[in-house]
């Protein structure tokens, strides 16, 4: 019962902060609201007993993507202006609402009971075995990390004042 209450509180937090990201006038505040939304998603993963996903959410999205966003905002010459309202705002809203309708429709029509009965719970230990054994995917993650590092260094070089 308490996990259900925590789930709904975290879900409301995620929806509220996601709306705050959309309607924030200052781009830095929007990034901070996005970080809070990422924390809410990590909390939802914890309530769903998906400990590996919660850890990845904190490490990757909060630890890496959020810091990268804040660095990008801080390296921008005038971050307080944000982006002006363009002529593509209405089509973007229409596309977003259409995608939301497709997602809600697929969630409603999907047979969740049969999927829950036949699926096997995978532990963090099994996932670590898949990642770190001799046929694992560690090298892929290391290459992706080096590419992100090169992108950050390149962005700093492009933005710095001469």
| Whether 82 contacts 28, CB under 8 Å | no
Asked whether residue 29 is assigned to any structural domain, the reply reads yes
Neighbour-count burial for 34-48, b at 16+ CB within 10 Å, e otherwise: bbbbbbbbbbbbbbe
How many CA atoms does the CB half-sphere of 117 hold within 13 Å?
Answer: 4
Asked whether residue 134 is assigned to any structural domain, the reply reads no
pTM of the model as a whole: 0.62
| Whether 44 contacts 14, CB under 8 Å | yes
Q: What is the CATH number of the domain that holds 59?
A: 1.20.120.1200
Tell me: the pLDDT tens digits for 8-46? 999 999 999 999 998 888 888 888 999 999 999 999 999
Asked whether residue 1 is assigned to any structural domain, the reply reads yes
Quote the domain boundaries for residue 16.
1-84
Asked whether residue 112 is assigned to any structural domain, the reply reads no
């Amino acid at each position: 019962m308490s996990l259900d209450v925590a789930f709904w509180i975290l879900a409301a937090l995620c929806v509220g902060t996601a709306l705050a990201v959309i309607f924030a006038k200052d781009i830095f505040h929007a990034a901070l609201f996005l970080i809070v939304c990422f924390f809410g998603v990590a909390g939802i993963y914890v309530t769903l007993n998906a400990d590996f996903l919660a850890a990845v959410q904190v490490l990757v999205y909060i630890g890496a993507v959020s810091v990268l966003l804040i660095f990008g905002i801080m390296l921008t010459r005038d971050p307080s202006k944000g982006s002006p309202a363009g002529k593509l705002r209405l089509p973007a809203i229409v596309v977003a609402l259409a995608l939301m309708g497709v997602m809600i429709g697929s969630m409603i029509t999907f047979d969740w009971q049969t999927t829950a009965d036949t699926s096997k719970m995978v532990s963090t230990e099994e996932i670590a075995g898949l990642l770190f054994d001799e046929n694992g995917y560690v090298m892929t993650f290391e290459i992706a990390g080096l590419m992100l590092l090169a992108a950050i260094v390149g962005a700093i070089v492009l933005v710095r004042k001469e």
